[in-house]
Structures are given as C-alpha cells and as structure tokens.
Structure 1
Amino acid sequence: MAAYSWWRQPSWMVDNKRSRMTPNLPWLLSALTLLHLTMHVNGLKRGVQDLKCTTNNMRVWDCTWPAPLGISPGTVKDICIKDRFHSCHPLETTNVKIPALSPGDHEVTINYLNGFQSKFTLNEKDVSLIPETPEILDLSADFFTSSLLLKWNDRGSALPHPSNATWEIKVLQNPRTEPVALVLLNTMLSGKDTVQHWNWTSDLPLQCATHSVSIRWHIDSPHFSGYKEWSDWSPLKNISWIRNTETNVFPQDKVVLAGSNMTICCMSPTKVLSGQIGNTLRPLIHLYGQTVAIHILNIPVSENSGTNIIFITDDDVYGTVVFAGYPPDVPQKLSCETHDLKEIICSWNPGRITGLVGPRNTEYTLFESISGKSAVFHRIEGLTNETYRLGVQMHPGQEIHNFTLTGRNPLGQAQSAVVINVTERVAPHDPTSLKVKDINSTVVTFSWYLPGNFTKINLLCQIEICKANSKKEVRNATIRGAEDSTYHVAVDKLNPYTAYTFRVRCSSKTFWKWSRWSDEKRHLTTEATPSKGPDTWREWSSDGKNLIVYGKPLPINEANGKILSYNVSCSLNEETQSVLEIFDPQHRAEIQLSKNDYIISVVARNSAGSSPPSKIASMEIPNDDITVEQAVGLGNRIFLTWRHDPNMTCDYVIKWCNSSRSEPCLLDWRKVPSNSTETVIESDQFQPGVRYNFYLYGCTNQGYQLLRSIIGYVEELEA
C-alpha cells in the first residue's frame, strides 16, 4: 500500500511582524522542523502499513488502522476514497466500514483535525475474507448406531455471488482435548440460506463418553481476489447419554462388518477386572472413572448365535453379543421366466454368504417398474448358497417387464436388474395327463395337458417315441397355444402290434427353455394283417405217402400281431384239394398226398386277418448227377459256395439239420436269391469236430431239385 503525508510549517510572528533571528537560529529551526516532520511521516507510514481491511460477506469492508505517533485517534476528521463517486466519510475513530470497492487500486486520504493527511492505495487483493463464526442449529444422536447428526445454517444469502465453502468439523470425546475426528466438507453457497447436514459414526459407542462438536469455515469465491481465511470456531455443542447406576455394556446386539475394528465399553459403578471376545482376553482401555473399553481388531464372521463379549467386574459378569458378517453380495445370474404366462418367476444366486441369519438375514425385494408390482423374499433358515426364487403375478397384456432385485441386510444393500419380453422367456410346466388313442394300426393320437395361458403364442413340442431294441425317435410339432388346455398330435408311421413308450416336452416357438420331459406313457398299437406269408419248406415222408410242410414263425415286424393259426391248403390244377388249420406254436403239418404236382399254400392268420400265401411246389425233380463236397467253417459259421446254374429261376434253398444225429432232425433251411453263388450258415448249435450234412436245392417252375450234398465241419479236429 503506497502512502505519504505532509505538515504545513507555521510562521513565527510577533505582533504580526516577523522577528529577526540570529544567524544560527534559522538553521536550528530548520533542523528541528525536519526532525519533527520526519517523525510524523514515519509515524504515518507505520500507521498505513498497519492498515487492515476485512470482510465477512464481500459486500462491506471493515478497515482499521492505528493513529500516527503523537496523534490522538479521536482527531480523525474524515476519510476520502477516490473512486467514481469520490466519496468522503466523516470519522471520529480509526475504524471505518465502507462498501466493497471495485477491483483495482483506489486512492484513500485520511484527514486529521490538526491538518495532517495520510494518503495510501487500497486494493481488494489486500482485503481478508473472514466469514462470520458459524452457529450450530442442532446436534442429535442415534445411540443405537452411535451416529451424530449435525445441522447448521450456511448463511448463503449474505453473499453477493454463489461461492464454494469449505467446512471443518471437529469432534471431541471428553475428557480428551484432542479431536477424535477432524473432517473437511465442501458445499456450494447458492445465494440463499440452506441448512447443511453432516453425519458421523463414532468408533466408541456414544453412551460411553460425552461428545462435543465445533465447526468453522472459509469461503472460496472466484469473484474475490483478496485473502481467504478461516472463521473462528463455533462454540462447542455437547451430546451425552444419561447413564444410570447399573452396569451397562455398549453396544448391544451390534451388527458389524466382518474384518472391521470395533470398540466395546463397560460402564460400571464397580471395578472392571477383565474383558474378552469369545474366549480371548483383551487389554482394558481406561476411559474415565470405572468406565473401560476393549478394542477388537479384524473381527471374524460370527457363528449363527453371534460372538459373545464379556466383562467381569468385582460383583458379576456382564456382556453383549456382536453379529459380524457381510452386506449382501450383488445378486448373481438374475434370470426371469414364466411357466404359464400368468406368473413370472425370477431366480438368482445370492453370491457370497453374509454370515447373518434370522432377523439379520438378507431380505430381497423384487420390483417391476412398469406395473409397480413387487414381492418380498426373506429367508430365515441357515446359511446356504442355493438358488433363490420369487414370483410376481403378471399384469394382463404386459409383455415388457423391467425388474430390479434389491437385497438388504443391516450392513447394506445390493441390486441387480433385468429387462425381459416375457413371451420370449417361456419355460412351460411339465406336461401331464398323457393319453394315446388308436386311429389305426400305424397311427395314434397322442394328447397331454399343459397348464398356462398360451393363447398369444405358438408352442413347439417334442414327442419322443421309443420301442424295444430301437433307437429313440424325436418328432417336433408346432401347436397353436391355448389356455389350460389339452393338446393333440397325430403320430404316424408306427408299426402294428408294437409296444411304444411316448413322452413329451414343450417350449415356446421362439424358444427359451424346454419344459422337463413328461412321465412316460406306454401303448401297444393295434394289429394289422401279416405283411408276408411264412417262410415254408416241404419234405416227403420216408414212405413217400405224406408231404410234411414246415413253416418258420413270422418276425414281429411281419406278423403285425399275434399269429393265431396257419392255414395249409393243397391245390392241383388250381383246384383246392384239402385245407388244414394248424394252431400256433405248431409249425409243421403232414398231409397225405399222391406224388402229383401239388401247389402248397401256407397263410398266417391273426385277429386282423390273413397274410398273403406262401406257395411251394410238392414235386421234387430227380437228379442223377448229385455231387458231394466238403466245407470247413470256423467257430459257429460255415461258408458255402456253388456254381451258378442258369436253369434255376426261383431261388436256392440250403437245408440242414442242426443236430449231429439223423433223428430227430432239427430241420432248418435258408432261401437265397437265384443269382447268388455263396452264403454263410451260422448256428449257435454247431459244435467243433461234428459233421453236418447240407443240401443245396434249386428252384424251377416245376419244383425243387437237389443239386449237391455238402459235408461241413465248423472246425475239423486233428486225428
């Protein structure tokens, strides 16, 4: 701050006439005058240097300065400020409050009654912004959570511009004088008075000691270029618990985060001897009087019943229980679907086990924001990490659903969200009430009941068809959905008189998930007429009077039902001579015939009808050129070959006895096409080293002719 001052030299007059001085007197007077002037100027300069201007609202500056040396403070006449108004303010003391000056240097003149003047330059940069001492409106306590709530007025209306404010808050615990908490809090002053709030949680339960709070603040305004200083501290505001004469331990039934540190105090009228967590003793911390505390570091997850804290005094044992665990984990794998388009089921995995059970366990709330519907899930049982499920009834006509799942326990909360189109998240219930109804021997109607309102979607169902010794077949069927309905599907291309097992599962056509497979439904299809006649052979009896007709049982896929009997007929010149009925399981008929050329017909009959006839000629064409050959097989197989005979137009028949003795002969035969020249005969009854006779017959339009005889061994033994 630049400053200067001056003093007008008085004239020495006698009777209004100047007195004459000695030659040395003018020099002496000049020296005295210079000394006096220097002293006053230095005094004024020191006064200007001590000039101090402050403001608490940036609207008014409060300026003070000490009076110059030798001048009484009450001799100030006025102060003039050279600004656009060039204003002067009458004064009687060395203090003045002036409106805030515009940015830049301003010339200020202080005039004294004795004629002295001091001039200096004043700039906003030299002014200190010191806010008024703040006032605490309220200090309240939540003794259950050991939390303090502080409220105060920020006096934002006193400032001309929005500004940033920094508050420093200190908390003391009596009888300690050092703060246990010193916190900085930043706020915005909006130009109007606002009640500010601050919460603080004490490590030491509030019941254990008196707590005091004080605040101060400073303002950081971009519109002010001067010094920014802290206000004075507000008067202390106290909070304390009204104790009784009994022994008390705090906190009571506290839920804390596992791994955290905590302090437990015991307020007792008698001496406390020890304190412990579980079975572990902890050193006592003396607070005041007989009040003590113990400090627990890294508290582990509690057992289901909590962690016991015990204090032993001269007269008894006192304690509390602490429940240490975790806040809910973020719900994992949140997925929502519907089984019936009436209710939406959301499932999730809770993630990390919280360690808290009973009333402290996690409560889940499922909220759907479009319909406003919600549901609550609270599990009180033991600690598990299973999948949780919660259902919400659907709002009619609503397809898009926006779900938020919130898990809460005393230590916090966590959320997951999912948005779904419910028509694309259909996983139907298991189909029930399965029924099978015959349409014919190869087609059935398969039906099942499916609960749910599927009127607006199509269903895709899979029908599994299984029969013995066959690979499972799965067929897809798209069906128009209905409400709580029985669905029908025609299943074709089945085999007659065959035991089938049916089951079904369904999904939506857009596919989200299959339902589970239904139970199985067994069904036997109806019979159909046999598709083929039996495989037949004939032999003349040894006396040549009777024709013995043999027939092999029809395979299941050709019998198409249970064979009840066989009709054997003989015809000569297309006239039937005799009919014989043979009942299953007989496969042999003996007919007395002459050696004429008969056609033997064999028909298999079941409840649905008769098979096409199998025909064979009775005549055996003689052959005087029969060759005998030998064949050796391996294991239970014998490989036979022959030359092609162009005269054979029907087929070849290989006949043999499965027994090694001629009687009784377990006759067997095999028919092979006429263009074949080899075959493999296989039988489990073949034995090594045993000779078997094979006979090769050829078929023509007139009958069968023996072509050759083959002696076969499945394995020839060494002599």
Structure 2
Amino acid sequence: MPFVMEKGIMMITLLLLSLFFKSTQEHDALHCEPQNLTINSSGQMILLTWEDKPSCSALHDVLIYELEVFIEDKKEYNDEVAVTPDQIESTHSWNWTSYLALECASHSVRLSSRYKNHKSRWKQNLTLPVLKTSENPEVYPKDREFKVGSNVTFCCVVPEGEFFENLRLTGYPREKMNPIPIGNRTYALTVHLNQSPKDSCTQVKCTTNTSENGACADIGYPPDVSDLKCETEDLESVICHWKEERDTDLPIKTEYQLLGSLCTKEPNGGCSQKVQVDVGCRNWTFTAQNKFGKVELSDTADLTKRVHMFPPKEVTVSTLNARNVSLEWRWTKQQYNHLNIKCQINISNGENTIIEKFGVGLKFAVLNDLIPDWTYNVTVRCGTTQHFWIWSNYSTSVNFQTKGDVPDALDVWMQMKDNQIIITWKIPLANQSHGHIRAYEVTWTNTTERERRNRTKVVLNNHSLALSLDTAEEYIVTVTARNINGSSSPSTITIPSLNPDIIRVNTSWIIGSGGGFNLSWSASPTASCGYIVDWCPTLGQCIVEWKKVPPNDTKTSIFSKNFKGGLRYSLSVYACTQGAPVLLERREGYVSEENNPEATSLTARNLKISSYTFTVKAQTAVGECGAAVTTYILNSLTDYYLIKVVFISLAFVFGLLSFITTLCYRHWTCIKQRVYPTIPKPVLTSQGEHRCLSRHMDHCHHSEADIVDVLELHLGAGAPINKYASQEKMPFVFAQPPKGYHIQPLKKCTPPCLTLTTTAIPSPSGLQSSPLRSVFPNLSYNLIIERGDKQSNSGPELQEGTSLEKRSGGFQPQVHTETFSVNQEEEDAESPMSCVSTYILLPQSPSR
C-alpha cells in the first residue's frame, strides 16, 4: 500500500513537470521573434539579415521564418526560411532579386516566425529608400549590361506635374512597346532583348508632355566558344584551340584563362601555356569571360599522342636531273629529330600528285619519274607516324625545272590511199617532246631486203609522209623525232601487202551518239599488242585519226574535236600484232544526222554564176538509195535587175500622173476660172408654147460680194433637157437668189421666138463691176435668129444700149429684152420642155 502511494505520487510529479515544461516551451514559442533586422541592396537584389531572440534557444524543433515583399504597398513575393535548432542564436540572411530597379518604386519587407502552431506577429516592415525624382523623367536601370535573350523591365519615373506619354527602345518595333503603370508616377516596360545593337548601346527613352530623357542599355552576347581541343606543337607547352561562332561588330573585351591562369589569344587562334608534357591523360580547363557572361570548357587528352608539328623550313632542291630530284629541309624544334615522321610531298605540274615518305627525324626525299624539261611546284607537310594526330601546315613552295631529255617515242599509224601509203604520227605534246622538236626522220625498208634502207627528213610543221611503195610487198617503216638532246626511240610500223587474195571485210552501219561513236567488236587471238581503231570521213581528202586500245578491251568510245554532224565517217578496227596490223571490222555512220526526214526542200546560198548539178539521196540505216539528179544554170542577175528597175520607174511615173490627174479633176472648175474665166451665158426664155432653150453656165464659187451678174433658170414639167430630168411640178433651180436681190418675172415666150433678158446688177458695194460688165460695158444683147431661109448671124448682134441711170436709191440696172427665132433643126435638136415664169435676180432697194 505505501509502495502504491509512492508510485502514484511520482507519476503525478512527472505529469506536473511535463505540463510545466510544455507550458514553458509554449511560452518561449510565443516570445520567439526576429530581432536586429537590417536591409541592404545591390543592384536589383534585396539583402535581409536578422537574429533570434534569446527565448528561441529553448526551442527543440525547426523554426520557420516567413517573409513578404511589397512593391508600392502591393504584395509581390513571399518566402520561408527554415532554421534548425543548431542554427538558433546565429545570424540569418535572405536575398531576393526584383524584376524592377529599386529606384523605380518603394520595396518593403516584413518578417514573422512560426513554430509548430504558434505564429508571431509581423515585425519591422523595412522599406528601402527611393531616390527623389529630378525635374526631368528618369529611366532605370542605368549603366547596366544585359545579355541578348533575356527579359528586362525598364521603368520611367515621371516628375510631378507632368504627364507620361511613351517609353520605348530604339531599334525595336513601336507596336510592341506597351508600358503599364505601377504607381502614381512610375511606368514599366518589359522587353525581350533579341538583338545586339549596331551602335555602342541601345537607347531607352521616356517622353512626357514637356520633356524627354533616357538611359543607355548595353546589350550583348557572352563568349560563344565551343569545341575545345588541346595539343602540343613543341613537346614543351600545351596550346588549346576553340571555335568562336559569333562575330559581332562591337569590340567586346574577352578574358581567357587556361588552367586557371590568364593567357593571351595567339594570332593562330589558340591559347598556350608552358607545361610538362608527360605520358598520360590530363584534364585541360579553359574559361572565356566578358561583361555579358562566362563560359567554361574542358578537354581530356594525352599530349604525347597529340603532336601538331610545325611545317618544314627551308625546303630546297639539292640534286636536279632530267627525271628525278632530291629535296632537303630542316626542323625548328630539336625534339622532332627523335620522332617517327611521315611527310606528304605535293607535286604540281598542271595536275597535283602526292607522294609520302617515312623516317625518323625525316629531313630529305627523292622524287622519281619526273617529266624532263618540265616545271614543277613542290610543298611539304609532315606529322607523327605513331599516334598520328594532324598534318602540319604546308611549307613554303619551291619551284624547279627538270633537265631536258630525248623525246618520247612517237605514236605512228598508216593510211592506205590508192597506190600510196601515208605514214602519219601524232605531234608530241609538251610533256612528250622534252625540249623543242627540230625535225622528224622516216626510214623504210622492204621486209625481204632489210639491209637496204631508205631515209628522209620531215620538217617540223609536217607530221605525215606519203610513200609510193610496191603494194605487193610488205614494208617496215620507222619514225623518230629529234630535239637538242638527241633522237627519240624509234617507232616502227609494218605496212601489209595488198594481196588480192586477202578476204575483204564487210562494212556495217553504226549510229553515233553523244557527239561520238560507241564501238565494240569481237576479240581476236591475233591481237597480241591490243587494237587500233582509226576513222576518217568516207568521202574526200582527210587526215586519218586513230586510237590504241589495250589487249583486254574490245570496246571503246570515239570522240574527236574534228567530228561534224551530217558527215559520214568510216571506222576501221585493226588487230595489233608483232607484224602488220590486221583489219578486223569496218563501220560507217554519222555522228549526228543533220537533214530533217520530213523536209522536202533545201536552199543553197552564196553560189557563183555557173552550172550546177544537184543530187538528192535518201539516207537509211542500211545506206543510200533513191538518187535524183537535176542540173541548173545560174545566170547573171543584171537583166533581172534592169527589168526590175524599169518596172519600178514606170509604176512610179504612172502613180504620179494618176495623182496629178485626180487632183486636177477635183479642182478643174477653179483651175478653169483662174486660167480663162467663162463669160456668163444668157437665160433664154421661149414664148408661145413655153419652150425654152437651156444653156449651161460653168461658174466658180466666189464670195457674196463677187457675185454680180446672176442668171437663173426655172424649169417646169416636161421632157429632160441636157440629160437632166425634171419631175412633175418640181422646178429645176440652178441657184438661189443671194441676199439683197429679188426675183422679177419675165413675160412668157412662144415658139419660134425666144426672148433673152439680161439684167445688169451692180456690185453691192457699188465699187466693183461684174466680169461681164468689165468686158462689155453698158451693153445689151440683141440676138436675132431667123427661121427658114433666113441666114442667122454667126454671133449675136451687139447694140449699144442705154447707159445706167443714177438714182437716189443707188444704181438701177438697165434691162434689155431681145427676140430671136430658132429654126426647126435646132428646136428638134434640143429636147423641149415647158416654160414657167423665169426670173432674173434684181437687187432690193436699200430701204429693205
């Protein structure tokens, strides 16, 4: 019983102690707060430091500090900092970088602690000081470097009393510039920097209603280096190379480090440092840094396996011959004398040829099989044989010319024409003559009389010789070329005899393609030294061309700069033997056919005066057929041209006369009036049966003032007169009365008497008389025509009439009426027509 009571007392005591410690810990948690808060800034970064209150030391679990950041009293960011029990009573720090420059707006931070379920109050709301604005708008951040590809926020602080208008960057599109307000006087613009400026910096400009100001943003790229390769050139140092992709127009200073030490970029683009070159791999680190960023590269290599040799120095020709030379050079590094080296020698003589030489410390090489009297250019590069890494650069080139030698053996062939054998050879090329060719020598002998040789020299410009030989015999012909160094090796060809018993080969057809001929034939066991293919135009004189084919080939392609389309060629295939060549096959064909098969005519131009015979044949795959022959005589063109000139002249004269005739016909009235004006005819009025005699008066158009004496004839119904037909009840009027004149009726007339009434009308101006009056002044007509046996006068009888009387109203015309008779013949000659009242134009009185 006492034991039980004692145990209960102990449990109660422990429980009370536990409650005490728990209440004490909770009390300490309630009083655990930050103290000694400080706030600082660096650029756009906020740095906050603080300490724990002493009451926090009693905590045995993680303590959490909560932080909140405000920009212009607007919560922008929140964060937490965990403090373990072993970190309590130490100084704590926290930093945060704002997207805004701290000068743009006020930034404040507040802090509280949280332990389990207990949280303290917010303590000490710290605010960074904001610079006062000036009289002009200010742009932030200032004097900062920005990397291309980053997002940057610029702000403009507007002075009091001014209104914000615009915030922009030079070189960026205006439509993408959308500033937003973040305070009463602050506007922010976030821009993605996607380009490097062409000038030193990019201007950021802020505009208000009264002023403009800005800042300079330095935008660029960090070093763009990659692909680091480290090697050794002298076995005493390491040199590292890299690729630098981006090349900007702005000079940006870049600092390079190799193995942690500064190094200077060498002209060849590398960075070197003295090191101990040992066998084994090593890590080589390289750093490139500028104001926009830093890049670090590394490479792992065994430098003994990465030897990049320097090029050979002072390459010279020590021995010079016709077909070989010796080259020598030296090394600038003594270590190379102990290396296994291989060198490539690049020999250029119009074409490049590379040969390789090997040796320890290799310093010389012999070049063989060169062309005599030929110019060469040689360069050398080398590398290590074992663990080859890379070739050195080529040495400086050396030029030399080999010594001359005798020409190479000529390429000789033959051509059989009628009873002649033409020996021909190809002109030696420059790399075959080995010096200037002076002459050729041809010798020939009968195979049965070899001791008897014929010899002749051929001048340089010729490369063929026609020989008149006995075609029944076989001959051996030798040709040599000679230069200053001597004669070439003899080229020999055997001329076969033209034995009529030899079987002739048939000629087959071949079709050209691609500007040449593709030729193939059956192999011949007699072709011990190969085959010869020659070709020549089938008709006319020609110089044969040929090509030699190796023994193992039975096909070849034939091309020549002398080939012409539309010209038929004969091709022959020979077997090359120890004796005379043997003809195997013969072909004929065209490189390309030129007459269109659908064509039915051809024009021959630039022919001379002569007689020509034209033959037209059809060409088919098996040959020619259907020849048609015609003959033409081309005469002089003199007669043709003469006739042509005569006809052209006659045509011109006819055209000119036609033009003049047409012109005169259209203006004949005026021409007649100008040359000999007509006298006006009188108006004849018949009496009795109203029969009138019509007289036609030609006249020319004049102005109204010129028309003085006017005659007018009115015709009634009746028969046509002078081919003019009058319709019934339609008067035929020759002229209308001009202004200022009236019509006076005349008395009717009856046959056989006719009355002629003439009225003299003065000119309206009174100053100019009519043409009639100018010829016969103040006259009246008395025309008397008698019928029957009476003989009429040959012309009208002119009687002097009464002169014009002057009146107060102007001149009045004096009218005379004369009567004359007309005989029956004249009356029958004229077609009768009934008369109506005939009028004479009289001037109106001035009062009207």
Query: Under a length normalisation based on structure 1, what TM-score does the superposition of the two structures give?
Result: 0.55
Provide the residue aligned with 1:306 in structure 2: 202
Q: In the alignment, is residue 489 of structure 1 matched against residue 378 of structure 2?
A: no
- Farther-moved stretch of structure 1 (437-446 vs 633-642): 633-642
CA distance 1:608–1:212, change in 2 (3 Å) = same
Does the CA-based 8 Å contact 1:156-1:191 persist in structure 2?
Answer: no
Q: What secondary structure is seen at the aligned counterpart in 1 of 2:163?
A: strand
Which of 470, 475, 483 is residue 355 of structure 2 equivalent to? 475
Q: Which moved more, 1:513-522 or 1:678-687?
A: 678-687
1:293: Cα distance to partner? 0.6
Question: Which residue, out of 271, 275, 292, partners 2:161?
Answer: 271
**1:140 equivalent among 40, 61, 82:** 40
Question: Over residues 132-158 of structure 1, what are the superposed CA-to-partner deviations in whole Å (9 max), with x where a residue is unaligned?
Answer: 43332643333xx13333333458998
- Alignment of structure 1 residues 664-679 onto 2, 5 Å: none
**1:319 pairs with one of 208, 213, 218:** 213
The answer to which structure has the higher strand fraction is 1
Asked if the contact 2:507–2:586 (Cα under 8 Å) also holds between the matched residues in 1, the reply is: yes
CA–CA distance in structure 2, aligned partners of residues 437 and 652 of structure 1: 44
Distance 1:401 1:518 in 2: 32
Q: Which one-letter code corresponds to 2:213 in the other structure?
A: G
Aligned equivalents of 2:46, 2:558: Cα separation in 1: 101
Aligned to 2:34, the other structure's residue is in SS state coil
Contact 2:145/2:220 (CA < 8 Å) preserved in 1? Answer: no
Describe how 1:648-667 pairs up with structure 2 within 5 A: none
Q: Which residue of 1 aligns with 2:49?
A: 151
Please give the secondary structure, in 2, of the residue aligned with 1:122: helix
SS at match of 1:272: coil
The whole-number CA distance in structure 1 between the counterparts of 2:574 and 2:294 is: 90
Q: Given the superposition, is the C-alpha separation of residues 276 and 106 from structure 1 closer, same or farther in structure 2, using an over 3 Å criterion?
A: farther
C-alpha distance in 1 between matches for 2:357 and 2:576: 52
Q: How far does the alpha carbon of each residue in 1:302-341 deviate from its partner, in whole angstroms, 9 at most, with x for none?
A: 672425241426xx42433363868748754444567777
1:366 Cα deviation after fit: 3.3
Which residue in 1 is equivalent to 2:425? Answer: 552
User: Is 1:262 equivalent to 2:157 in the alignment?
Assistant: no
Q: 1:259, 1:700 → 2: CA distance?
A: 86
Deviation at 1:395, TM superposition (A): 1.1
SS in 1 for 2:274: coil
Kept after mapping to 2: 8 A contact 1:368/1:401: no
Judged with a 3 Å threshold, the aligned counterparts in structure 2 of structure 1 residues 593 and 533 are, in CA distance, closer, same or farther, namely same
Identity of aligned residues (%): 20
**Alignment partner, residue 122 of structure 1:** 19
Aligned position for 1:391: 270
Contact 2:576 2:582 in 1 (8 A): yes
- Is 1:367 matched up with 2:367? no
Are 1:210 and 1:241, in contact at CA under 8 Å, matched by a contact in 2?
A: yes
- Equivalent position amino acid for 1:347 in 2: W
Contact conserved, 1:208 with 1:265, CA < 8 A, in 2?
A: yes
Q: Give the secondary structure class of the aligned counterpart of 1:366.
A: strand
Q: Distance in 1 between matches of 2:545 and 2:107?
A: 111
Alignment CA distance shift 1:459-1:164 (3 Å): farther
Cα deviation, residue 418, structure 1: 2.9
1:240 aligns with 2:129: yes
Residue 630 of structure 2 aligns with which residue?
Answer: none
Evaluate the alpha carbon distance shift between residue 639 and residue 164 of structure 1 in structure 2; reply closer, same or farther with a 3 A threshold.
closer
Provide Cα deviations, 1:30-73, integer angstroms capped at 9, x if missing partner: xxxxxxxxxxxxxxxxxxxxxxxxxxxxxxxxxxxxxxxxxxxx
State the alpha-carbon separation in 2 of the partners of residues 690 and 238 from structure 1: 106
The DSSP-based 3-state class of the residue aligned with 1:398 is: coil
**CA positional deviation for 1:273:** 1.0
Tell whether the 8 Å contact from 2:439 to 2:457 is kept in structure 1 after alignment.
yes
Query: Counterpart in 2 of 1:717?
Result: 624
Worse-superposed segment, 690-699 or 245-254: 690-699
Whether 1:169 aligns to 2:67 is yes
Give the 5 Å matches for 1:190-339.
190=86, 194-207=90-103, 212-217=108-113, 229-230=118-119, 234-237=123-126, 239-241=128-130, 243=132, 246-247=135-136, 249=138, 250-255=140-145, 260=151, 262=153, 264-266=155-157, 268=159, 270-278=160-168, 282=179, 284-287=181-184, 292-301=185-194, 304=197, 305-312=201-208, 316-321=210-215, 323=217, 328=222, 331-336=225-230
Residue aligned with 2:142, SS? coil
Partner-residue secondary structure (3-state), 1:295? strand
Matched residue SS, 1:347: strand
- Decide whether the 8 Å contact of 1:564 with 1:607 is kept in 2: yes
Count of matched residue pairs: 554
Q: Which has the higher contact order (CA 8 A, sep 6+)?
A: 1
Q: Secondary structure at the match of 2:624?
A: coil
CA–CA distance in structure 1, aligned partners of residues 571 and 152 of structure 2: 99
| Aligned position for 2:299 | 418
Residue identity matched to 2:66: E
Corresponding residue for 1:403? 285
Q: Relative to structure 1, is the Cα distance of residues 523 and 333 closer, same or farther in structure 2, using a 3 angstrom cutoff? A: same
Find the counterpart in structure 2 of residue 348 from structure 1: 243
Could you tell me how far apart the structure 2 residues matched to 1:616 and 1:457 are? Answer: 56
- What's the Cα RMSD here? 6.5
SS of equivalent to 1:717: strand
Letter in 1 for 2:301: I
Unaligned runs of 5+ in 2: 1-7, 169-173, 591-622, 628-848
**Cα distance in 2 for residues equivalent to 1:640 and 1:281:** 81
TM-score by length of 2: 0.48
Q: Distance in 2 between matches of 1:183 and 1:669?
A: 96
Q: What's the offset of the Cα at 1:392?
A: 1.4
Contact 1:255 1:322 in 2 (8 A): no
SS state of the match for residue 206, structure 1?
A: coil
Higher helix share: 2
